[in-house]
Structure 1
Amino acid sequence: MSVSNQIKTITKTFIAVAAVSVVFSACQKKFDDMEPIELAALTVVHAGPDTQELDFIVGTQRANKESFKYGARFGYLGLYPGTSSIGITPQGKNNFLLTKNELYQSGKFYTTFLVDTGKLRSFLTINDKLDSIKVNEKAKVRFINTSPETQTLDLTIAGSATEIATNKAFKQYSIFTDVEPGENVTLEVKDHVTKEVKATIAAMKLEKGKFYTVWAKGYNGKAETDSLKFKASVYNVSLKQ
């Protein structure tokens, strides 16, 4: 389902996906008399290179249906506009490992990345600005560096002079950039200084009107069989009806 359809469905039914809690004031109108509210939308990515399985909490409710583990993504969730508390707990537990208050504006799209591990954990929340980007004949690609131990990185198209993002340090990211659609497009994450290819996303289809997020994750120097090794991942959303 496209993002637009998800949000419209949420707005019509006046509930948030994944049972996100909503608190009304004591002087609220009766439910039937209330005007529809345009919600905010949030997708969440676990980019903290750790084997611990977690729950992602919005307000007092668990937002993830499945275990929230490294590499996982869920959303878009519909959230009522305003300030909401987000946090993580060990799976099935009540003790918070990290919490933060975030402001979500009506009609806006957000991505929150959980980055790093242990006491260095933090949330990186990005306003995706999907509501302000006109869909055209191009695909749209952005890059986010969530690898704690890497140098600055570039994202390029293999065999092309096209640079989608350059010189991105840990927790830095680019805006969505127009890229020519293609049936077999290979993306490369490179060391900004040496231009060595550090990770590759094998030939994939880039479609016009879709938004692709490429994120570098993990640690350098890990064995190929180690789930926490440095690599790049990608996901996409569409604003088509």
Structure 2
Amino acid sequence: MNFIKTISNTKHKKPFRAILPILILATLFLGSCLKDDDNNGYDSQTIVSAVASVNASPSMQGYDFYTDANTIVNTEQDFKYDNQIRYKRFYSGNREFVIFKAGTTSSPVLDSSLTIENGKFHTLFLAGPSDKLNFLLLNDGNLEKASSGKAKIRFVNLSPDGGELSLGIKDATALLASNKKFKEFSDFQETAAGSLKLDLTSSNGTVLKEITLVAQDGYLYTVYAKGFLSGNPDFKIDLNTLDHYSLAIGFLQN
């Protein structure tokens, strides 16, 4: 399995964007007869799923990333902070995910068995400080597109020391997500597509970060808090976004 970095500013023509959700679903289910990316010899033609991976652990440390003894990220392209791996096919059920410090194989820093649900997309986050690494696996469902004129947004708190965090659209009356503790997350919420000014706020209402998300009509996004509220200024608290349909482009090319 090859490591693929996402390109945040990739542009696609509107006709392609319009049919992308349909192509994604067709590829997931019609592609179920294809060989498992992990090459583990599974012979089922029905138990296929997809997993995207994100390193949200704030440190300079790079990692080698394996599943079921097969490489997701190799030593030449180690899994660094903020790196994203696009959706790749996985066979469903219990799968072993293992993290090593880059260039080592003797002692894993994280080894977990996680359950991949049949026929669904998933996002796997590497979270926590480097001395307390853990995984957070989220079920993305079927990436069903938002209603016309809308986008879907989900919030995840991956700031180890940020406390309870909320995400809202500037000047909106309701929050997209409220008072989420570390590794807590909201459901996907529909909101108007377009240029959205998003505010990350602390439990006392202090605005910690503002970003602008240009939300495409019908698209799905995860917005996650990352970094430290206090401590290392190189990894200060921030917001980052995942465009799930852009993450699925690599999946379509498998």
Same fold (TM over 0.5): yes
> Percent identity, aligned pairs only?
26
Q: How does 1:143-222 map onto structure 2 within 5 Å?
A: 143-182=155-194, 184-192=195-203, 194-201=204-211, 203-222=212-231
Within the candidate set 119, 123, 126, 1:107 is matched to: 119
Residues 136/185 of structure 1: CA separation in 2 closer, same or farther (3 Å cut): same
Whether the 8 Å contact between 1:7 and 1:39 is mirrored in structure 2 is no
Deviates more, 1:7-16 or 1:106-115: 7-16
CA shift for structure 1 position 161? 1.7
Match of residue 14 from structure 1: 34
Q: How does 1:1-241 map onto structure 2 within 5 Å?
A: 2=20, 5=23, 8-9=26-27, 11=31, 14-16=34-36, 19-24=37-42, 36-64=45-73, 66-94=77-105, 95-130=107-142, 133=144, 135-137=146-148, 138-182=150-194, 184-192=195-203, 194-201=204-211, 203-222=212-231, 226-238=233-245
TM-score norm. by structure 1 comes to 0.83
Counterpart code for 2:238: K
Residues 105/162 of structure 1: CA separation in 2 closer, same or farther (3 Å cut): same
Whether the 8 Å contact between 1:154 and 1:163 is mirrored in structure 2 is yes
Residues 134/207 of structure 1: CA separation in 2 closer, same or farther (3 Å cut): closer
CA shift for structure 1 position 178? 0.4
The alignment partner of 1:227 has SS state of helix
Paired with 1:71 and 1:4, the residues of 2 have a C-alpha distance of 28
Residues 80/68 of structure 1: CA separation in 2 closer, same or farther (3 Å cut): same
CA shift for structure 1 position 150? 1.0
Q: C-alpha offsets along residues 89-148 of structure 1, whole Å, 9 cap, x if unaligned? A: 1123213110111121221111111111244211111112235x4642210001000011
Counterpart code for 1:21: N
Counterpart code for 1:88: I
CA shift for structure 1 position 9? 4.6
TM-score norm. by structure 2 comes to 0.79
The alignment partner of 1:22 has SS state of coil
Q: C-alpha offsets along residues 173-211 of structure 1, whole Å, 9 cap, x if unaligned? A: 0000001111x211110013x21111111x331112111
Whether the 8 Å contact between 2:166 and 2:200 is mirrored in structure 1 is yes
Whether the 8 Å contact between 2:57 and 2:130 is mirrored in structure 1 is no
Match of residue 32 from structure 1: none
Whether the 8 Å contact between 1:6 and 1:76 is mirrored in structure 2 is no
Residues 60/5 of structure 1: CA separation in 2 closer, same or farther (3 Å cut): farther
Counterpart code for 1:174: S
Paired with 1:42 and 1:187, the residues of 2 have a C-alpha distance of 26
Residues 9/146 of structure 1: CA separation in 2 closer, same or farther (3 Å cut): same
Residues 5/93 of structure 1: CA separation in 2 closer, same or farther (3 Å cut): farther
Whether the 8 Å contact between 2:21 and 2:145 is mirrored in structure 1 is no
* Misfit runs of 4+, over 4 Å: 1-4, 6-10
Larger Rg: 1 or 2? Answer: 1
Counterpart code for 1:187: L
Deviates more, 1:96-105 or 1:138-147: 96-105
CA shift for structure 1 position 6? 5.4
Paired with 1:185 and 1:6, the residues of 2 have a C-alpha distance of 25
Paired with 1:140 and 1:64, the residues of 2 have a C-alpha distance of 29
